[in-house]
Structure 1
Amino acid sequence: MGWALLFAATGAAAQAQAPASSSSSLDEIVVTGIRHSQISALKVKRANEDIVEAISAEDIGKLPDDSIADSIARLPGLAAQRDNSGRTQDISIDGLPSAMNTTLLNGFMQATTDNNRTTQLDQYPAEIMNSVVVYKTGDASLTGAAIGTIDMRTVRPLDYGKTNLFLGAQGEYALEGKLQPGATDTGYRANLTYITQLDNDKIGVMFGYSHIETPNQIIAQHPWGYYAANDQLEGGLQDQLRSDTLTRDSGVVTIQYKPTDNLEFVVDAFDSSYDDDAIIRGVEFPLSGTPTNVANGTSTWSALAPQLESYDYRQTSRLRSADFTMNYKFGNGWKMHADYGYSDADNHFDQLQLYNGFGLNGQQNTTTATLTEGKGPGGNIGISNWSENLVNVALGENQGWSNYIPAGFPGACPGGVVSPNNPPQWGSTCNGGPDADQMGGAGQNLIQRTFDSIQQTKWSLSKDIPGSISNIEAGVSYSVRKKDYRVEEDELFLLSGNESQPIPASWLSSPTNMSVFGLPDMYSINPRQAFNSGQYGSVADYRAPGGGNGASLSDWSISERVITPYFKAQIRTEVGGHDLTGNFGIQAVNTSQSVTTSFEYPAGGTVFNYVAIPSSTEYWDVLPSLNLTLHLNDSQDIRFSAGRSMARARFDQMGGGSSVSFNFAASGNTSPWSGSLANPSLKPWISDDVELTYERYFAPGEGISLDFFYKNLETYIYQSSSTANFSAYYAATGPYTNNGVTIPAPIMTGPVTQWVNGNGGALYGVIFSGNFQLKHLSQVLDGFGISGTAGVIESTVKIPTAPGCALNNINTYQTPCQSGTPDGNLPQYSKYVANVSLYWEKNGISLRLNDRYRSKYDQEVVDYNGGLQPVLGAAENIVDFQAGYDITSGPLKNLSFTFAAENITNEAMNSYTGRWNSATNSATSPDPKNTVYYKLFGTNLLFGVHYKY
C-alpha cells in the first residue's frame, strides 16, 4: 500500500530489541500489511525501557497521510489541531499544549518555521519516515527532550538488510470543487525511495524523495458581537472562501558505514521546501443602526457598508538538517558515542490584503440584509435579501481602517502629489486628525520572517558491568540555538490620488460564487497581480500607542546556549522471580539565554527609529528520571516511571508582542511610563511526572494497555501586573520633547503587564488502548480487526485572565487577552480523546475506517499578526477511509493500488463564545451555535498506485 508502508516488512530492528522475557512465538509468525505494522509497533513499545507510544512506517503509509502529524494523532493520549488550511499541524500529548513538546529527527532537535518552538509537523512527509516514537516520560540520556518528545526516525539501510526500490504516485481531488476562479481542485503526490548495501554489507545507502501538490477548498465564517438581548448577532460578520494549494518537496539521504562490528558511522541529511499559497475572497461588514423584524435569531439591517476582500496569503519555508554519528565499542564492554547535528529553518509569510467597497460613482456602497441563525454554512448565520451588487465596484477601502491621510488627497494636509517617492505622511493633525478622512486604506501587506538554527553535539561513554546495574553511561550534550523574527507591515494606497477608481478590466476574471452564504456573486481579481500592477503605493505602518510618545516592540533575536551533563544506569535484575528492567539517571541542564528586542519609536511624534535592547539570564535545572518494567510473564508487563521534565518558554513570550507608552501629560509623582512587555528572563515550564502502565499481550500484534499518569506543573507562564524599570528605553529614545520643550528626566519605573513564571496545576488521567483480531470470536470474522484508544484527562490548571482583560464586554469575551483562554484551561487540552479503527485484511485486500475524536478544547489560532489567539473550540470527530489491493503473484507482483477518502464527514473546525448581557454585565455560558470562527475544509479523495522492486 505504498512504498512507505513496506518499510516495516522486515521488522528486524524492532525484533532484535525485544526483551528477553518476551515469548519467542511473537517472532515466529511472518505477516504483512496492517497486522505487521501493529506487530512492529508493539515490539518497539515493549522493547523500550521508557514509556513510549510508537507507530511503524506501515501504519504511516496505510492511510495516505499528508504528513506524520496525521499519523501520530492516532496514538494513545495524543490529539491534533488543524491549522487555518485544514492540515494537521499541532499535537497535544496527554492534554498538554504543543508548546510543551519538542520534535527530534533521528534524535536531533529540529528548527521550527513558526515564531515559536512548536514544530509545524505538516512539513514532514509521512512517506520518508520509517517510524515515530513518542516519549511520555523522561530519560537521562534523551537530551534536548521536553515534557513530551516526538522522535521521527528514517530507515537505517544496513539494518534494513536488502536492496529495494519503492515507487508511488497518487492523484487527489477535492470534492468541494473549485470554489473560486483560478483555484484548483486536483493535485498529485509522488515518492521514490531506494535502499541498498555495498562493500559486503559494510556500507548502506538510502535515498528518499517525496513531492506533494494538494488542494484545499475552505468555507469560512467569522461572526462577532453576540448579545443576549433579542438573542441576535449585533457586531458584524465576515464570510470568506479560501482556495489553498500546498506544494512540498522533501528529500532524505542516509549513509551508514560499518567497517567492523565494533565501529559504525551514520550520516543523515534532510531537506524540505514548503510553499503554501492561498487565495481568499470574501465580504465583511459591521452591523450598525437598529435592526427590524427581530425574532428567533433573525434580524433585518439597512444601510450596511460591505467591505470586499481579496487576499493572497503565501508561506514559503525551507527546512534543512544534517547529522553525523559515531558509535565505537572497545575494551571489555566499553562504548563511545559522538555526534554532531545541524538544523535550520527559514520562513517567509507574506499576507497581502486588498480592500474594496466603493461604488463606481465613488460613493460608499450600502446594502440591506437579513441575517438568520441556522441558515448558513454548517447551520451558522445565513444571509438573505441582500440588495447591493458585489461585481460592479471600484477600488478603495470604505470602512475607515486607514490610520493616516495621504498627502495630496482632498481634505488632507498639504504635502504634495502622492507618488512612490512621496508617500502619505504619518501623523497629520489638520482637518480633524488622521481619521478625519477615510481615504488611502486600499489594503495592507504584512510580511513575517523567521530564521532558526540549531547546532548540537553529544559525547558519551558507557560500560556493561555485571550485577543488577548492568550498564552505566555518562555524557554531555551542548547546543546553541539562534532564532530571529522580523515583521514589516505596509499600508497600501492608490497612486492615482483618488479616493476610489474603477477596477481595470484586465484584472477581472469570472465572478466568485458566494451563494453558500446567501450572497450574490462577487468580482474576482488576482490580488498579487493587482498589487504588482503599479496602481498601488505603500507606506510603513507604524502604530504608536496613545498618550504621547510610544514604542511598539515587534522584532526580536534570541540566542540560547545549553550544556547538559548527565548520568544514566540500566537495571537488569529480578524481583520475586520476575525480571525487572529499566533505568535511572539525572540531567543537570545549564541554560544561558540572550534576548534582543528591536523596537520602533516615534522621535518627536512623527519619525520612527529602531533601537535594540539586549537582556540575558542564566539558570540551572536538575531533572532526575526513573523508568522500571516488571515482566510478570511472557505476556504481561507493568511499567512505572517518575521524574522531572521541562519545556522552555515560548519565544514570543520572551521577546515579542510588547509595547511601551510615555505620557507627556504625567506630572508630579505620576509615572509617564506604562506598557505590556515580554520577559527575556523567563524560566521553563517544570513538570513532575508519575506514570503507571499495565500491558497485556495476547498474540502477535494484539494486546491491551491501561495507562495512568499524573503531571504536576510546578510552574506555568501567564501575564501578570508588575512594575518595570524603563531606563533602557529612555536611554535609547530620550530625552523627549513636547512642543519644543525638553522633558526633564522622568520617573523611570512604571506599571506593566508582563509574562511571568507563576503557579501551575496538575493533569492526571487514564488512557486505554488495544488491538484485537475478531477471528478469536468466530472464524467467520477472520481478517477483521479493531484497534483503538480512549482517554479521560482531568486538569486543575486554571490560567488567570491577564490584568485589564476582565470579561466586561462581548469583544473581550470572544477574543480574550493573549495569556488567558476562554475557560481558563490549558491551550489544546481536551478532557476526552479517542481513536478507533475497524479494518479487514485478507488475500491482498484491505479496508480500514478510522474515527478520531476529541472533546472541546481551547484552540490556539494563528491570527493576522502571527500571534496565538485562544478561542474555545468545539468537539471534533474526523473520519477517514482507505482501501487497497496488493498483487502478490504473477507478472504484476509487488504492484499495489490504494483509494482513500480524507475527512469523509466534512467535519468542521468550530470555535464559539457566549452572549453578552448588558443588563447584568455578564456573559452567558459558551454555546456552539455562537460561532466565532467556523471552517469547513471539505473531503479529499486520493487514488494511488505503488510498486516495490
Structure 2
Amino acid sequence: MKFKLGKLAAVSVVSLGFAQIAAADILQGTVTDGSGEGALEGALVTIEELDRTTSTGRFGDFRFSGIPAGEYDVTVSYIGADPVTQSIAVSGESTLDFRLGADVRYLDNVLVVGSAAAQAGAINQQRASNAIISVIDSDGLGNFPDTTVADSLARVPGLSIETDQGEGRYVSIRGINTDLISASINGVRTPSPEDRRGVLLDGVPSDLLDGIEVQKSLTPNVDADSLGGVINLQTISAFDRDGRFIRAKIEGAYNEITEEFSPKATLTYSDVFGDRLGVALSVNYQDLRIETHNNEADEWDFINGLAYMNDGYEHRWYGLNRERLGLVANFDWRLSDNTDLYLRTLFNNYEDDEVRNVLQFRDLDDIIDEDANGDDIIAAGSSLTDTSATFPLNETQAEVRVRREVRTIQTIAVGGETTWDGWETDYEVSYAYAEEDDSDNHDVKFRFEDIQDNFPGNVTIDYSNPEIIRFSEGTVLDAVYDPSNYFLDEFEREFTANEDTEYAAQFNISRESVFGEMPVTWQAGLKIRDREKIRDVNVLIYEDDSINLAGFVNNDLISGWRLGNAQPAWPDPGLTRSLRGAFGAGDLDEEGSFFDSNGEDYKIDEQILAGYGMGTFDIGALTLVAGVRVEQSNVDLEGRVVLEDELTATTTRYSNDYTNVLPSVNARYDFSDRLIGRAAYYAAVVRPAFGEMAPFFFINDDRDEAEIGNPNLDPLEADNFDLSIEFYPTTLSVLSAGIFYKDISNAIFPATFDTADVPSNVDLSGIPAELLNGVDTDGGEIEEVSTFINVASSEIYGIEFNYVQNLGDLNSALDGFLVSGNLTLTESEATLPDGREVPFLKQSDTIWNVAIGYDNGPWDLRVSANYRGDYLDELEDENLDRMTNDRLLIEASAKYRVNDNLQIYLEGKNLTDEPEHYYFGDESRLSQYDEFGTTVVFGARLTY
C-alpha cells in the first residue's frame, strides 16, 4: 500500500513551523483536595498578570512554559471549592502546588449526580474542556446498580442504550446508531467481535474503570471515525491518588424471575513506590443468571384493510448464565522530571451460556387463499377482525438452542510523554484484539406437520393485547402440547469464530508560543492503524425424521411462564446433547451445510494513515482550537460467491482506497466566570460496517433471490455543527443548553431491488449470467437482490438540556439533596431510492434522565429514571417497519457508611418491571416482547 506520506507529514511540519521560540522558564505543579491525596482534574489555573489559563490533567497536574521570569499571582478555580491564590517568583523551572476545599478522596464509587465531590469532578472536567464533552467522574461508576459500562452510560446527557436480555449492550450518542460512533479504552480503539463496527459494551465491567469521557465534538488530534462522538473508557492509575489504595467489593443480585442469586466481586489495589513507580491492579468476577420470557411474530401483512400475521409466531424462553472475568494491570514510571512512561493493559473474558426453548406456530398465512383471478381472499371457514384471526392450524415446531459464546477483549498500550526546552511529545504503540467464539453450540428442531389430518378444527389467535398473543384452547392446542406428535426436522451444529485485531502507533508533538500577547499552543501528529477482521462460519446440518421428540422430554412446562399460552420445557437441552454424535454421513444435509458455512465468511484488511496539525489560541476570553486532519484509507476485502444447488464457493477480492481532508474548529468563550459559550464544527468519516462491505454473494435460486454485500460502498461523510451555553449559577451546579446539526452524505441503508432496478454501483458480477438473463426456464432466475446502498443526503438535528444542582446551595434546609436532569430531542431524515423518507436507523427522537438523591451523614439515597423514545430498528415495508418501543427504567439505591472504610448498600434495578417491546409499524402489531423482571442487589465495599 502506498501512503501519501509527503502530504501528511507536510501538515505536521507546516503547523510546527509557525511555533516561535519562547523564553524557557516553566511553572508547573499539582492541584489536590484538602488532604493532599485526591488529585483534582479540570481545575482552572490562571496567571493573573499574564492572563494565561490552563487546566489540570488527570493527575491534577498543570504546566505553563515560556513564562518570563518574575513575580506572579496564580489563582486556582474549582467548582465546589473557594478559589485559592498564591504568589511565586518564577525563575527557570518553578513548582507551585495547591490544596483546595475539603477532603474529597473517594472511599467509594458515587455517580456524578451523587456526592458533592463526584459532582464537582465531572462539572469541572466539562467546564475546562475545549471541546464539548460529558463526563462520568471516577466516583461515578457503581453508584447505581450497573453491571456493565453501557448501563452506566445510560445516564449521561444525550446517551441511550440498546439492551440484550435486559442488560445494556450498545450505546447511542444523541440517539445516533452505535455503528456510527466509536469507543476506546485508554485512548486505544476498542475492537468489535461482531461483523459490525458498533462496540459491545456489556462485556466490560464498570468496576474496572476509573472514569468515562464522552467527546461530542471532535478536535483534529482525535480519530475522525465517528458521527455521534467518542466514548473513552479510562482504567485506573496509581497516580490517581497518593499512596496505597485497596478496595474490595462483594455483592449478590436476586432476580424475581430466575429466583436465583448472582455473585459479583471486585478487588482493586494501587500503590506508588518511591514517588516514581505506580502500580495499579484490578480484578472483577461476576456469575450472572438471567431468565427471559419472550414472544415474537415474524411478519404481518394486510388484507381488506385488516392486519394479520402471515408467517410464524413463537414463544421463547431464555435461560442464561453470563460469566465475566476482567483484569486491569497498569504501570506508570516517572523516569525523570521530563519523561513519564506507562503500560496499560486490559483483559476481559465474557462467557454466555444460553439455553433457548421455542414453541413456534407456523404458516399462519393459511388464513389467506386465492380466488379464481389469483387475488388474495380470506380462506373459507376462516375469519379476521381487528383483534383476532380464526383459521386451521397446520404446523408447529419445538426447538432448543444450546449456545456457549465466549468473547474476549484485550488491549495493550505502551507509551509515554517527554518534555524538553518548551517542547512536549507523547507517543504510543498499541495492540487491540477481540474474538467471539461460538464453537460449542447445537440447535435442534422438531416439527408437528399436517395437524389437520388427525386433529381438524380451527384455532383463534387473540391479539387484543398486542404485547401478549394468546391461542384458543381446544383439541388442536391439546395436540400441539403433546411431544409425541413431533419428529426431528433438523439438528444443527455451529462452529463460528470472529476475530478483530488492530495494531496502532502514534506520535504527537506540541509547543507553546506567544504571538504578541496571545498565547498559542501548536500541535501536530501522525498515527497509523492496521486492522484485520476475519469471520469464519462453519455449520453442519443433519436430518433424520424417524427421531421422535418424546425421547427428549424431561419436564413438561416452564414454571412461572408469564406470556400467553404455556411454554413447553422441551426439547430438553441435556438430552438433545446426545444427538451430537448420533448421525451418520448419510444424514448430513450437504447443500444446506455448505451454503450456511461459506456464504458469511470474509476477511478484511483496513489500514489508515492519519496526520493532523492544529493550534489552540488563547485570545482573551476566547479559546479557539482549529486545525485539519487528513486520513488515508486502504481496504482489501475477500469474500465468497456461494451457489447453493451447485455446492460451489468462489473467492472474490476487492480493493478500495480514498483520502479524507477533515477540518475542525472548536471555540469556547468565557462571558464571565459563571457563563461559558461554545461553538464547534468538525468533519467526520465513518467507514462501512464490515458485514455491509464484505463481498459475499448468497445465491438461492430455489427462492429466486440473492443477498450480497457491497464492497463499492462509500464511507459516510458528515459536517457536524454544535452551539451551546453553560451557566454555573451556584457553588455546585450547572445549567446548559445546546443545539446540534449533522449534514450527512452517503449514509448506508439496507435495500431490496428487483433485478432490473439494481443501482449501477452494486456489483452483480458474482451472480452467474444465466441467472440474470431474464429467461426463467428452470425456475432459477434471480428476481430479487438484497444489499446495502448509499443514500445521497440526510440530516440529524436536535437540542439538549442539562441541569445538575446541589439543592443545599439554594437553601440550607435542603442541604444534602442533589438533583439532576437532562433532555435530548432529535429529528432525522433520509430518503431511500424509492423516494420514501425514513428516520435514521436506531435514531431515538427523545432521551431524558432525572435523578434525585440525598447524601448526608452516613446515608446516601438515590432514585433515577431513564427514558428512551422509540426508533426505527429495521426497514421492512412502509407501515410495517420494525420499531423499538419507548422504554422507561426506574432504579434506586440506599447506602449506609458504617465507618470510614466500610459501606453497605441495597439497590433495585428495573423496579417497574419494564419490558422490551418491538412492533411492526404500529404498536398493535407485535414483533417482539420480552420480560426480564426486577433485580435487587445487596453488597458491601471495604476501602483502605
Give the match for residue 747 of structure 2: 716
Contact 1:156–1:206 (CA under 8 A) maintained in structure 2? yes
Alignment of structure 1 residues 136-285 onto 2, 5 Å: 136-143=216-223, 145-147=225-227, 148-177=229-258, 185-198=260-273, 200-223=274-297, 224-225=299-300, 227=302, 229=304, 233-235=308-310, 236-285=312-361
Matched residues in 2 for 1:725 and 1:369: separation?
A: 45
Q: 1:76 to 1:551 in 2, by over 3 A?
A: closer
Deviates more, 1:163-172 or 1:303-312: 303-312
Give the match for residue 878 of structure 1: 889
Q: Which amino acid aligns with 2:889?
A: I
Give the match for residue 70 of structure 2: none
Q: How much has 1:490 moved relative to structure 2?
A: 2.8
Indicate yes or no: 2:196 matched with 1:106. no
Aligned length: 817
Q: 1:205 to 1:551 in 2, by over 3 A?
A: closer
Q: Which amino acid aligns with 2:588?
A: V
Indicate yes or no: 2:579 matched with 1:499. no
Indicate yes or no: 2:429 matched with 1:340. yes
Q: Which amino acid aligns with 1:764?
A: Y
Per-residue CA distance 1:322-375 (angstroms, 9 max, x = gap): 0101211112x1112210000011102365322224499999877864432245
Give the match for residue 28 of structure 1: 101
Contact 1:347–1:450 (CA under 8 A) maintained in structure 2? yes
Give the match for residue 370 of structure 2: none
Alignment of structure 1 residues 503-582 onto 2, 5 Å: 503-504=550-551, 508-509=554-555, 511-513=557-559, 516-520=562-566, 522-527=568-573, 529-533=575-579, 534-536=581-583, 539=588, 542=591, 553-574=599-620, 579-582=621-624
Q: How much has 1:524 moved relative to structure 2?
A: 3.3
Q: How much has 1:105 moved relative to structure 2?
A: 0.7
Query: What TM-score, normalized by structure 2, do the two folds share?
Result: 0.80
Give the match for residue 20 of structure 2: none
Give the match for residue 638 of structure 2: 596
Matched residues in 2 for 1:754 and 1:524: separation?
A: 37
Alignment of structure 1 residues 374-773 onto 2, 5 Å: 374=464, 378=467, 380-381=469-470, 383-385=472-474, 387-389=477-479, 392-394=482-484, 396-397=486-487, 441-467=489-515, 468-494=518-544, 498-501=545-548, 503-504=550-551, 508-509=554-555, 511-513=557-559, 516-520=562-566, 522-527=568-573, 529-533=575-579, 534-536=581-583, 539=588, 542=591, 553-574=599-620, 579-601=621-643, 605-606=645-646, 608-655=647-694, 658-660=697-699, 675-718=706-749, 719=751, 721-723=758-760, 729=766, 754-773=787-806
Matched residues in 2 for 1:873 and 1:674: separation?
A: 28
Per-residue CA distance 1:868-905 (angstroms, 9 max, x = gap): x97211111111111111123xxxx4111111111111
Contact 1:340–1:457 (CA under 8 A) maintained in structure 2? yes
Per-residue CA distance 1:764-822 (angstroms, 9 max, x = gap): 111000111233454333222210101211223334469xxxxxxxxxxxxxxxxx9xx
Contact 2:295–2:928 (CA under 8 A) maintained in structure 1? yes
Q: 1:361 to 1:340 in 2, by over 3 A?
A: same
Matched residues in 1 for 2:37 and 2:881: separation?
A: 43
Alignment of structure 1 residues 845-860 onto 2, 5 Å: 845-859=859-873
Q: Which amino acid aligns with 1:346?
A: E
Q: Which amino acid aligns with 1:255?
A: F
Q: How much has 1:484 moved relative to structure 2?
A: 0.7
Q: How much has 1:382 moved relative to structure 2?
A: 5.9
Residue 465 of structure 1: SS of its match in structure 2? strand
Q: 1:528 to 1:799 in 2, by over 3 A?
A: farther
Deviates more, 1:468-477 or 1:676-685: 676-685
Q: Which amino acid aligns with 1:711?
A: K
Q: How much has 1:170 moved relative to structure 2?
A: 0.7
Q: How much has 1:581 moved relative to structure 2?
A: 1.8
Q: 1:154 to 1:29 in 2, by over 3 A?
A: same
Give the match for residue 933 of structure 1: 928
Q: 1:341 to 1:79 in 2, by over 3 A?
A: same
Q: 1:502 to 1:589 in 2, by over 3 A?
A: closer
Deviates more, 1:301-310 or 1:69-78: 301-310
Residue 260 of structure 1: SS of its match in structure 2? coil
Matched residues in 1 for 2:36 and 2:444: separation?
A: 50
Matched residues in 2 for 1:689 and 1:710: separation?
A: 6
**Alignment equivalent of 1:330, drawn from 420, 432, 455:** 420
Contact 1:230–1:297 (CA under 8 A) maintained in structure 2? no
Give the match for residue 843 of structure 2: 829
Q: How much has 1:525 moved relative to structure 2?
A: 4.3
Q: How much has 1:154 moved relative to structure 2?
A: 1.2
Matched residues in 2 for 1:374 and 1:499: separation?
A: 39
Matched residues in 2 for 1:460 and 1:650: separation?
A: 29
Indicate yes or no: 2:91 matched with 1:10. no
Root mean square deviation of aligned Cα: 3.6
Gaps of at least 5 residues in structure 1 are 1-6, 179-184, 398-439, 664-672, 744-748, 803-819, 863-868, 914-925
Q: How much has 1:45 moved relative to structure 2?
A: 1.0
Per-residue CA distance 1:125-152 (angstroms, 9 max, x = gap): 1001111111111111113642221111
Q: How much has 1:583 moved relative to structure 2?
A: 1.3
Q: How much has 1:640 moved relative to structure 2?
A: 1.1
Matched residues in 2 for 1:751 and 1:873: separation?
A: 27
What fraction of aligned residue pairs are identical, expressed as a percent? 18
Alignment of structure 1 residues 20-99 onto 2, 5 Å: 22=77, 25=82, 27-31=100-104, 33=110, 34=114, 35-83=116-164, 85-99=165-179
Alignment of structure 1 residues 268-307 onto 2, 5 Å: 268-286=344-362, 287=364, 288-289=366-367, 297-307=387-397
Q: Which amino acid aligns with 1:51?
A: I
Indicate yes or no: 2:438 matched with 1:349. yes
Q: 1:528 to 1:621 in 2, by over 3 A?
A: farther
Q: 1:767 to 1:780 in 2, by over 3 A?
A: same
Matched residues in 2 for 1:196 and 1:640: separation?
A: 41
Q: Which amino acid aligns with 1:654?
A: M
Q: Which amino acid aligns with 2:818?
A: G
Per-residue CA distance 1:666-721 (angstroms, 9 max, x = gap): xxxxxxx9954322232321110111111111344411111111111122123472
Contact 1:800–1:824 (CA under 8 A) maintained in structure 2? no
Q: 1:395 to 1:550 in 2, by over 3 A?
A: closer
Matched residues in 1 for 2:651 and 2:789: separation?
A: 22
Matched residues in 1 for 2:857 and 2:567: separation?
A: 52
Matched residues in 2 for 1:686 and 1:227: separation?
A: 38
